[in-house]
């Protein structure tokens, strides 16, 4: 299952920056599926634990940049859920439109 999800993540684009793939804390976690929850509700303990791990991750900024730039990818990246990144993109677009 993990391999399929990893391949799916990279199928439509190049892989994340090398620092993310080599230094991301999620690489060492026992349950990588936690970063791909069926539902990304923050109240879910598994999702909350994954988000907390991301907040302590040394490459969270690069990870978030990668995911924000790719609206087609889902799951938890850079301490954000898919929905939160959608909100970030919308806010950035609104800011660009206002400028
Ligand atoms: S920020 Fe989160 S998803 Fe990104 S590499 Fe770090 S632990 Fe993994």
pLDDT tens track for 74-99: 999 999 999 999 999 999 999 999 98
Q: Residues 15-72: pLDDT tens digits? A: 889 999 999 999 989 888 899 988 877 678 888 999 999 999 999 999 999 999 999 9
Q: CA-CA distance, 55 to 50, in Å (whole number)?
A: 9
Cα separations in angstroms, 65 against 22, 39, 46, 78:
16, 22, 23, 8
Q: Is 25 in the pocket of ligand 1 (CB under 6 A)?
A: yes
80: helix, strand or coil: strand
Residue 96, token pair as written in the block: 């660009």
Cα 56 to middle of ligand 1, angstroms = 9
Q: CA-CA distance, 60 to 23, in Å (whole number)?
A: 10
Q: Is 35 in the pocket of ligand 1 (CB under 6 A)?
A: yes
Q: Is 73 in the pocket of ligand 1 (CB under 6 A)?
A: no
State how many domains the chain has.
1
Domain interval for residue 50? 2-98
Q: CA-CA distance, 57 to 17, in Å (whole number)?
A: 14
Query: DSSP state, 37?
Result: -
* Biggest CA-to-CA distance, the chain: 45
pTM of the predicted structure, to 2 decimals: 0.83
Best of 63, 68, 74 for a ligand 1 pocket test (most atoms within 8 Å of beta carbon)? 63
pLDDT (0 to 100) of residue 30: 86
- 18 phi and psi, to 5 degrees? -55, -40
């Amino acid at each position: 299952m993990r391999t399929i999800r990893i391949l799916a993540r990279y199928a439509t684009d190049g892989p994340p920056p090398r620092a993310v793939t080599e230094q991301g804390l999620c690489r060492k976690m026992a349950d990588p599926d936690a970063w791909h929850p069926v539902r990304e509700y923050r109240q879910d303990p598994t999702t909350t634990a994954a988000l907390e791990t991301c907040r302590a991750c040394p490459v969270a900024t690069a990870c978030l940049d990668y995911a924000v730039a790719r609206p087609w990818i889902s799951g938890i990246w850079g301490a954000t859920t898919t929905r939160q990144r959608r909100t970030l993109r919308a806010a950035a677009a609104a800011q660009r439109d206002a400028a």
